[in-house]
Copies of this chain bind each other. A is one copy, B any other.
């Protein structure tokens, strides 16, 4: 299946290369992006493992070839299909930055070298596998930065993603970017991501009276006996009415029934959605009644979820009432019950909630997270930078679109405080920068922008992941990638990470690479008027 992440033009190009005698030319392509997403100044690189697996499994099946024969013109030479059928990635080398690293524009995430038609065939697959993965991992990381380390972040996007598998990618890479769990059961099964979930409004509206709950009993952990549970809940409703200032006949009986049924099913970790009817008059009192009954039976309830309304206000009121119950009935843990919020939350909502003050412990995020509503595509590109050892440079009237030609070594230079100072691209023939020695870092396009840097630590950014038919780096687990992403983010200065007007992180080139680029640029300059 994966083989076919192909645009037709890759096949037509492969044929033209093959036919015009370029099939054995060696090409180098860089995959990179030009601009960080979401008006931010950082990106989390994700999707590499899938890329390596694609390269490893690259093979046209017989049925693929049969289909291609129907698509291409009749006069295609038959030998080409034999060539396609026998294509492998045994002559391909793939270098990449580690998955999970925080990355920046212009520095290749992946650099791939091999026979021209083969590496051209990698274009769309690698872009497809990196673009969305990195975008949504970055989005996840931004939510994490907004919410802070101590909040739980849950991905609830399955129903709004691009089909079942779009949702899987979303769950996987949001977790990499720092989420704590997902509602998506298959993602849990496949990637070992913690899965979370309670119940929907429909669960509540499906009950209309307590009589509907057939099972009236629950095992009492304190007495070790099965005992009537429903009456205890109703009793608690009466006791709580003056404390929480509600009228028992205004609290929905159907909702109480639903909570009782849910608590009997999940007496440990009971968590209820309390906004089906009225949070203050019904949902909250009903929850507290059932939660206190569970407490009587020796269970510890978990908390509530809010899915509508003013989340700052409601969460605060809920917390106040939790505190009242805690104090009045001597159950201090009640004041610490979890409050989950999940109503159309985006990064800005969280910042705004933080400003207003709120009592939310956990955010469930769907649409805005998985669709990346703020910017739904990362503009990753795949550019030819060298062919048969000759550098190639894509010129453009827009200087931001000019490529950095040839093979490059990229380094991240760190200061004495452990923070990343700058990324530096050099030519492979150059001596790497050394800790303690000053090195000139230049803006790739603006001559006046340059500075000497004395790194305390130097990190080579690219590793070879695929070498002539073999995976030559360990592929970490998703959980390890998540840790890597968190650690990498730690080394990025806070002003690069802030939500509003962050400072751009510097990506630079060495003087040798700068001179090389600009000489090549001059050779390719168009004749004619200045544009």
A residues adjacent to B (C-beta < 8 A): 1-2, 4-13, 15-17, 19-22, 25, 27, 29, 64, 67-68, 71, 73, 75, 116, 120, 123-124, 127-129, 131-133, 136, 156, 158-170, 183-186, 188-189, 195-203, 205-208, 212-215, 247, 249-250, 260-262, 264-269, 276-278, 281, 308-309, 367, 370-373, 376-380, 382-384, 387, 390, 392, 394-397, 526-528
Contact = CB atoms under 8 A, between A and B. Distances in A.
25 contacts: A1-B164, A4-B186, A4-B189, A7-B159, A8-B197, A15-B265, A19-B265, A20-B260, A64-B189, A116-B206, A120-B202, A123-B202, A128-B163, A129-B163, A132-B161, A160-B378, A162-B162, A162-B165, A163-B166, A164-B165, A205-B392, A247-B527, A367-B376, A371-B372, A371-B377
A17 B212 CA distance: 11
Contacts of A185: 4, 6-8, 11, 67-68, 71
Given A13-B199, A189-B4, A214-B21, A128 B159 contact: yes
B165 A163 contact: yes
B165 A9 contact: no
Contacts of A15: 265-266
A132 B8 contact: no
A433 to B, nearest CB: 30
Nearest to A136: B162
B384 A206 contact: yes
A189 B11 CA distance: 14
Contact of A162 (B127, B169, B262): B169
B160 A131 contact: yes
Given A120-B202, A136-B162, 10 more contacts: A6-B158, A8-B188, A67-B188, A73-B266, A73-B269, A128-B158, A160-B378, A206-B384, A281-B526, A376-B376
A372 B262 CA distance: 38
Given A16-B266, A160-B132, A281 B200 contact: no
Contact of A27 (B123, B206, B380, B396): B206
A68 B116 CA distance: 47
B371 A526 contact: no
A197 B166 contact: no
Nearest to A190: B4
Contacts of A160: 127-128, 131-132, 377-378
A67 B4 contact: no
A428 to B, nearest CB: 21
State the 6 A-B residue pairs at the shortest beta-carbon distance, nearest first: A21-B214, A162-B166, A9-B197, A8-B197, A165-B165, A166-B166
Contacts of A397: 309
Contacts of A167: 5, 128, 162
Contacts of A5: 158, 164, 167, 186
